[in-house]
Structures are given as structure tokens and as C-alpha cells.
Structure 1
Amino acid sequence: MPVPASTSDQVEPLHGRGRPVPWRRWVVARSVVVAVAAAVGVIVLYVLAVRTGVGQRFDDAVVIGRFEQRSWFRWSVVVRLTRRSDLPLLAGAAVAFGWAVWRRRYPQAVAAFVVIGGSFATTEILKKLVLPRPLLTTTHPFNSYPSGHTTVAVAVAVGLILVAPQRWRGRVGVVVGVLATLVANGTLAIGWHRPSDAIGACMVVLAWTGATVAGLVLVGAASRSEGARARQLSRGTWVLAAMCVACGIPGVWQLGDLLRRLRDPSLLGTEELKHLYNTADLLVLASVTGAVAIALVLLQGVTLDRWGAPGRARPPIG
């Protein structure tokens, strides 16, 4: 009697030159592409924002502009939440890991640990040892790229998505994505970080997310979801993607105009500083929601299994 093929060997309904693409190869390929693109993005953003005078002037102008943009919500909610975010972020990481272990979903527990721990360790190493900040301006010489708080906030969000039941991923993604944006934008409002720090942190997490999803598939801890509905993008993914586009397009549009006029941050008027700060807010919000949305896309149609679960064959080694 022939042995049925593993679910992981089924094909994705996509074709290249008339030939079906194996499911495992397709998921690994898209995950690796995201991981590599994000890793390259971290370096490119560092060169543009930290190693150039115009990049440093923009970041420093945003730090100055935060004093001119004091809305009630930003200072009463966002800032307070960010200043008290250390314990909730640690609790979120513990919940992500503990929930997966309690359900005996050990691959998911390992995945959450790798994304959160790997992202945070990478950020600290890059900031303290690898990516120095040259003194091209004298306004704010401290080095802060990438942002540790934003890294942990986005990584915990991805970790909670990884351990959530598949049907709840989209809803969980929206909730944790919004909370992560509050932390990321709060670091700007407090003055802990520049906008490039938060955007770079999102790309660090995306690099680890892509590598982790690819690893789960390669070791046989993930299989193709059954049913067409389970393989469709969730509503939560579309909501986050819409937020990313709605904030990203005007943010990039305004950024281009501001960079052309930016010379010396200390000579900018109040309205220009407010404009700079609002633009940075939009770009950071778009980066966080975009990162969480991409994490959901990488998990689209992917069921995370227990190792050795019935009916799930591991891929051969070698």
C-alpha cells in the first residue's frame, strides 16, 4: 500500500514556467528573501541615517521637534506607557514562551525564544560594538541605532503571533501591532531614540522572523494548512497593511520635501519642527505595522506542528 505524501510536500498553487512550486520550497524562499532584505535594510538605513550629515540632521531635528509637539494623548498615554514598558514587555515574552510550552508546542516556544532573544541580542551587539555613530553633527552625539525598546516590542509581538492558534493570528497581530507602535513612537516622544533607530529595529526583527520561519519548515515543525480559507490572508493582515500604507505614503512624501529644506536643525521654525516630528511618527508607525503584517504574511498557510505529531512526516535529513 503506498504511503501518502507528507503535507509539507504538497505544492503551492503557484506556477513558474508551467511547473508547480513545492510548498516547502516556496515558504522557505519567501522567508529567506525577507530575512536577507531586512538584514541589508539595517545596513543601508545605518549608512543613510547615521553615516551622512543630512541623515543625522533629520534625526536630530526630530529630537528637537518633540518639544514642540505636545499633544495630550502623546504625553499622557504614549509616554507613560513607554516609560513603564519594561515589565509588560518581559511579561509578554514570558507569556509567549510559557503558553507554547504549556500546550506542548515546543517548536513554537523555541521559535518565539529565537525571535525575541536573537533580535534583542543582535540589536545590542550592533548598537554597542558594530555600528558606531560618527560625530558629523554636535547636536546629539549619543549612539542609539537600533532601538532596543522597539526591538523587544516588535519581537514580542511576533512571538505572540507565533504561539497563537492559527485562526487567531490576525486578531492577535492587530492588538500586539498597535501596542508595539505605541512603544516605538513613545521612544521618540521621550527622546530616547531617533526615528531611524525604531525603523532599524523593525528590520532586525524581520530578519530573525524570516530566518525562524524558514528554519521551522526545514526541520519539519511546520506544514501546509488544510483548507483554502486557512491559506488566505487574514483580516488582521489587511488591517495592518492598510495602516502601513496609510502612514507610509504621506510620511515618505513629506520626508522628501523636508530633506530638501533641511540645513541646520537649530534654525528651523516651530512649524517645521512639528512637521518633521509628525513625519517621523508616521514613518515609525508604518514600519512597525508593516513589520507585523509581513510576519503574518510569512505565516500565511503555515501550520506550526508538534515535533513527531501524527500524520506529519519529517523531511529526510541529508
Structure 2
Amino acid sequence: MDAGGQRDARGTQEPAGQPAAKGSGLLFALATLACVAGIAASYYFFVRTTTGQYIDESALVEAGELHGPAGRATTRFLDLLPGISLAIAAVVVLFVTLARRRWTAAGITVAACAAANLATQLLKDWFPDRPFTGIQTLELNSLPSGHTTLAASAAAAVFLVASPRWRPLAGFLGGSFAVAAGVSTLVNQWHRPADVVAGFLVTGAVMLPAGWLIMRTGNRWNVWGGHREHWASSRLWLMLSVLAGLISAGVAVYSLLRIAPFGLGIPGLSQEESTTNYFWAGVSLIVITGYLGTVTATWLFGHAARRRN
């Protein structure tokens, strides 16, 4: 180490920078607690209440209306999803580990991925079966979605081992992959929207503490030069995630207004027999949750990283 900085494991000089942002540990803790609270709220509302069950089950039933070519495509995608997820995570993590010698980060990431998927299976078994509240539905509990957790944790693994300048791009691509997996489980009628949302939240609850540990143990290479440092760091990737979320929010509001009692007095939006409105509201909920997690993680890790002088 000299006055200009310190050297990494390959002998390459690492630029000096400011320490990680103060208070970032608290932000990671709050985000983790928000995920845990979200899991509990999703289970209580969508599984334990009549209204939640009706909304969730209606989205699942209406998905059958679109189960034509889209259903066949998503079936193929879901069949390949475990292999795709594991291959993406394994190749990227292995490459980064060997090329950059981030052994500690790789170990933490692999352990967190395994923990997230194990937690999903344990929660699915631990949560009681769906109680009968007057809604005709399968009693077997399906929350959280295992396929969604697998896809989201694989995307999170790539995000965690990537350098800060690559994380905005990795976040957008990984978030899009996880959202596509979640929507596919709904289109294929494998899972209800709440199952997918819970899968995202379980992933966040496990991967966020792992990410903070990586930031603490890998402080030397977690150096952030800002959004103008590299094309993969561009704000464009955050803006695309925000745009997808806003569009989905608009779709959700419109769909829910179409099925709200009396149309809330809005002309042209009187209550009607729903055909796919619950489905589109469910899809929107999945997209909003997935990209909200993407934006939050990208900002949080960028905020926590050391700054270049």
C-alpha cells in the first residue's frame, strides 16, 4: 500500500476512496425488516382473509383465459428455469471469483442463495394450509413461490458479486429475469400473485444481510464512481425499472377500478363481471414488487459503496 491507495490480490493498485456511507447498515437493516414485514402481511391478507383470497384466487382463475400460446411458452420457460437460474448464477459467480479473487463474497453469496431457497421451502411447509373463508380454492399452501425464489436469488447472486459500476445493469437485467419468472408462474397457473410477491420478499430478507456482509468484508473493491463512471452504471437502468413500475401501477389502478363496487362513481368504470382484470392487477403487483426491489437494492448498494476521490 502507498499514498495513492492499496493493492488488491492481483497486485493491481486500487484507487483510494472515502469509507462506506455512514448509516448504511441501518438502511440495510430497515430494508430487511420491511421484507420480513411484507412476507407476514402478504400471508395474512392473501391467505387468511376472504378479500385477499378472493383477489388472489380470481387472478389465478383468470390466468386460464390466457393459457394458450402464452401458456405453452411459459410452461417451457418454467421447465428450464431451474437450470437457467443455476447456470447463470454459477457461471457469473465462478468467473468473478476466479478473475477477481472475491472468494469471501462468493462464499457468502452461495450460502445466502441456499438459505433463501431453503427458507422458502420451510415457510411453505410451516405456514398452515389455506383456511376456508367462503372462497373455493385449493387448501394446500403455496406461498412463497419456489420458482420465483430460485430465479430472484440467482439474479441477486450476480448482483452481489458484481462490481459497483456493473450493479445498475445487473440489477435491471436480474430484476427483469425474476419478474418474468414470477409472471410465468401466474400465467401457467402454478402460483397466485401473492406467492410470487412472497418469493421476492424472502429473497430480499436473506440476500440483503448477505449483501451488507459483502460490503463490509469487500470494502476494497466496492468502490463507486457514480452513474457517469461506466455505461453499465448509467441511470438509464434505474429509470427503466421505475418506468416499468409506474406503467404497472397504472394498469393495476385501472384494473382494480374496473372491478371496484359501483365503479367508485367514475363514469365508464361501473362494476362489471371481470374477465381478466384481476389477472392484470396480479401481474402488475408482481412487476411493481420486482422492480421496486431492483431500484431499492441498486440505490442501497450504491449508497453504501466507497466513493472514489
The match for 2:255 is: 254
Kindly tell me: are residues 242 and 254 of structure 1, through their superposed partners in 2, closer, same or farther at Cα, counting changes over 3 Å?
A: same
Amino acid at match of 1:202: F
The match for 1:18 is: none
Displacement after TM superposition at 1:182 (Å)? 1.7
Kindly tell me: are residues 293 and 88 of structure 1, through their superposed partners in 2, closer, same or farther at Cα, counting changes over 3 Å?
A: same
Kindly tell me: are residues 208 and 222 of structure 1, through their superposed partners in 2, closer, same or farther at Cα, counting changes over 3 Å?
A: farther
Matched-pair contact (CA < 8 Å) for 2:258–2:272: no
Matched-pair contact (CA < 8 Å) for 1:50–1:56: yes
Amino acid at match of 1:46: Y
Kindly tell me: are residues 226 and 243 of structure 1, through their superposed partners in 2, closer, same or farther at Cα, counting changes over 3 Å?
A: closer
Matched-pair contact (CA < 8 Å) for 1:161–1:173: yes
Matched, 1:117 2:147: no
Displacement after TM superposition at 1:94 (Å)? 1.8
The match for 2:158 is: 160
The match for 1:272 is: 274
Aligned residues: 284
Amino acid at match of 1:254: S
The match for 1:79 is: 75
Q: Quick one: distance in 2 between partners of 1:92 and 1:270?
A: 44
Matched-pair contact (CA < 8 Å) for 2:259–2:272: no
Q: Quick one: distance in 2 between partners of 1:8 and 1:207?
A: 32
TM-score by length of 2: 0.80
Q: Quick one: distance in 2 between partners of 1:46 and 1:92?
A: 30
TM-score by length of 1: 0.77
Q: Quick one: distance in 1 between partners of 2:76 and 2:97?
A: 32
Matched, 1:89 2:90: no
Amino acid at match of 1:144: S
Q: Quick one: distance in 1 between partners of 2:154 and 2:272?
A: 36
Amino acid at match of 1:163: V
Kindly tell me: are residues 218 and 165 of structure 1, through their superposed partners in 2, closer, same or farther at Cα, counting changes over 3 Å?
A: closer
Q: Quick one: distance in 1 between partners of 2:91 and 2:214?
A: 20
Aligned CA RMSD, in angstroms, stands at 3.1
Amino acid at match of 1:247: S
Structure 1 segments unaligned to the other structure (5+ residues) = 12-22, 262-268, 305-318
User: 1:289 is paired with a residue of what secondary structure?
Assistant: helix
Counterpart selection for 1:66 from 63, 67, 82 = 63
Q: Percent identity?
A: 22
Kindly tell me: are residues 71 and 222 of structure 1, through their superposed partners in 2, closer, same or farther at Cα, counting changes over 3 Å?
A: farther
Q: Quick one: distance in 2 between partners of 1:128 and 1:188?
A: 21
The match for 1:237 is: 238
Q: Quick one: distance in 1 between partners of 2:61 and 2:159?
A: 36
Counterpart selection for 2:29 from 32, 50, 54 = 32
Q: Quick one: distance in 2 between partners of 1:121 and 1:207?
A: 13
Structure 2 segments unaligned to the other structure (5+ residues) = 7-14, 263-270
| Post-superposition CA distance 1:153-209 (Å, at most 9, x none) | 111111111223333222233222222222111101111110000011111111123
